[in-house]
Structure 1
Amino acid sequence: MQAKLRIRRFNPETDKKPWWGEYTLNDVLRTDTVLDLLHRVKWEQDGTLTLRRSCAHGVCGSDAMRINGANALACKTLVKELGGKGETIKIQVEPILGLPVEKDLIVDMEPFFDHYRSVMPFLISDQPVPADGRERLQSPADRERFDDTTKCILCAACTTSCPSFWADGRYVGPAAIVQAHRFIFDSRDEGFNDRLEVMADTFGVWRCRTIFNCTNACPREIKVTEAIAEVKMAITAGKV
């Protein structure tokens, strides 16, 4: 089959504003990924196309982009998932929204990681390290309590699908809240109050409007909106 790609392009060294590049690829398989097609454009037609990717297997999260109007990982999005049963399929690719575009499909991730770091995404404990040098143990039930939010790969697909984040980049965003959830509900962690203080800030968890874009965008199928609701309840209750 044939694929017609419309890709949002922008080179800060030569362009005053973004523009659309249009490319046609033949002999496309329905099992090809969008990343496969972008590689073909770059390797066969236009070597200046710039994108970020690494593992190409949905683990690193580096190739999050906007595909046909929705956030997704290019390496996990198959051509057959984008609709169309004819011999030609149209695919539009853009950088994720809400973060500064550096070039073409690459955005500056530093604002996103600033929010991530603000929730202290590490174990906080004053308890001594176990004498045998092994890890701090907890029951299977305690581990299961936050299991879902350990799956985050920091791709930013959830945060950059959020209208509240688009409206004001100071909002900490869904991904950071997911990271806070992972430690707030960890029985081994003692930074509960410190994290809830960050979450209760003006640009913390209460900026969420429960639109569910984040849950729909997550390539790891994390129940993001549910995690956000649980953090809100933890703030109001003052306890886990």
Structure 2
Amino acid sequence: MATTRAFARLATRRIGTDTFCSSTRLNCSYTNTRPAAVQPAIFARGLASVTDSAAREPISKVGEKIVPDPARKPIPESKTSTVKEPEPGKDAKIKTFHIYRWNPDEPTSKPKMQTYTLDLNKTGPMMLDALIRIKNEIDPTLTFRRSCREGICGSCAMNIDGVNTLACLCRIPTDTAKESRIYPLPHMYIVKDLVPDMTLFYKQYRSVKPYLQRDTPSPDGREYRQSKAERRKLDGLYECILCACCSTSCPSYWWNQEEYLGPAILLQSYRWIADSRDEKTAERQDALNNSMSLYRCHTILNCSRTCPKGLNPALAIAEIKKSMAFT
């Protein structure tokens, strides 16, 4: 299995007033769904693995084998640059998609953009519909994560036309003259194609202890109660689905992600700092009171602009800073 780590730089793309750099660090592992824990999985033959044993352990040693359809001849990734709609109709609305590809099983090959054309009349309205149709009908080697298809799980986060978003919530532009470009989330190690390695992201999430902590039992032995006003403070916080769109659009996180927690994790931290039922507010604040974990935020606000759930991580970070300044 290939274990070579490649590095590549993709061009910076500017959309409107927002700039999202698509510089991507490449890694080699593969998973077909969003990982359930912080370590990457090791899968069966044909799927590359991460073997940095000094810092990581596998989630599982057994993966689901992909059994190709014998009637369909797989397309060699290294030799195919353009794949077209199999049988376009007379009134076909042909749309062009350029998709980032990198295969860890071919460690000597460089990342590339592969071109696909689809008839929009035969394709669903969302970008995820296009990706699924490409994988099912055109190129079974295309790899990406997906699950709920309704903006709840966060699995299909990727950079589409220069903006970090969820493929299941991003509509395909109907203008066939405009070509779409799809990349993995920026500045992440890449498992394969559009699949980023979320190991560090989940490790950071675990570090903020995202669960209720208290020493005092409930007076009546039942649930811990809140007033309506206390509950309203959590609106805009608990809805985060950990898709990492905000963190991977943040330049401060790009350059300091080993130490800076990033917008998504800081929003999750504030969700518990603001919770009236939690009794470890001081400890949570102390954990953030250093030069890197919190204060690398420079209010660039890419995080709030790109959040597919319409949340405001920048405001949550500002509230943490304010709470620490006046306590």
What TM-score range do you get, normalising by the shorter chain? over 0.9
What's the secondary structure of 1:88's corresponding residue?
coil
1:26 maps to 2:114 = no
Q: Which amino acid letter does the alignment assign opposite residue 173 of structure 1?
A: G
User: Does the 8 Å contact 1:3/1:28 carry over to 2?
Assistant: no
Which of 108, 125, 128 is matched with 2:217 structurally?
128
Which of the pair is proportionally richer in helix? Answer: 1
Deviations 1:146-181 (A, max 9, x none): 221111001011111110111122211101100111
Deviations 1:12-64 (A, max 9, x none): 11143211110001134796100000111111111000000000110000100
Residue 320 of structure 2 corresponds to 231
Residues 28, 201 of structure 1: CA spacing in aligned structure 2 closer, same or farther, 3 A cutoff? farther
1:202 Cα offset (Å): 2.7
Residue 215 of structure 1 corresponds to 304
1:102 maps to 2:196 = no
Q: How does 1:48-197 map to 2 (within 5 A)?
A: 48-80=141-173, 86-133=175-222, 135-170=223-258, 171-197=260-286
Residue 38 of structure 1 corresponds to 131
CA distance in 1, matches of 2:221, 2:213: 20
CA distance in 2, matches of 1:79, 1:129: 51
**Gaps spanning 5+ residues in structure 1: where?**
none
CA RMSD of aligned residues (A): 1.6
What's the secondary structure of 2:261's corresponding residue?
coil
**Number of matched residues?**
233
What's the secondary structure of 2:178's corresponding residue?
strand
1:12 maps to 2:100 = no
User: Does the 8 Å contact 1:66/1:94 carry over to 2?
Assistant: yes
Residues 87, 68 of structure 1: CA spacing in aligned structure 2 closer, same or farther, 3 A cutoff? closer
User: Does the 8 Å contact 1:158/1:174 carry over to 2?
Assistant: yes
1:224 Cα offset (Å): 1.2
Q: How does 1:194-205 map to 2 (within 5 A)?
A: 194-205=283-294
**Gaps spanning 5+ residues in structure 2: where?**
1-92
Deviations 1:105-162 (A, max 9, x none): 00111100111111111101001145343x2101000111122111100101111111
Residues 175, 86 of structure 1: CA spacing in aligned structure 2 closer, same or farther, 3 A cutoff? closer
CA distance in 2, matches of 1:126, 1:163: 39
Residues 190, 68 of structure 1: CA spacing in aligned structure 2 closer, same or farther, 3 A cutoff? same
What's the secondary structure of 1:206's corresponding residue?
coil
CA distance in 1, matches of 2:175, 2:171: 16
Q: What is the TM-score normalised by the length of structure 1? A: 0.92
Residues 56, 86 of structure 1: CA spacing in aligned structure 2 closer, same or farther, 3 A cutoff? closer
User: Does the 8 Å contact 1:65/1:93 carry over to 2?
Assistant: yes
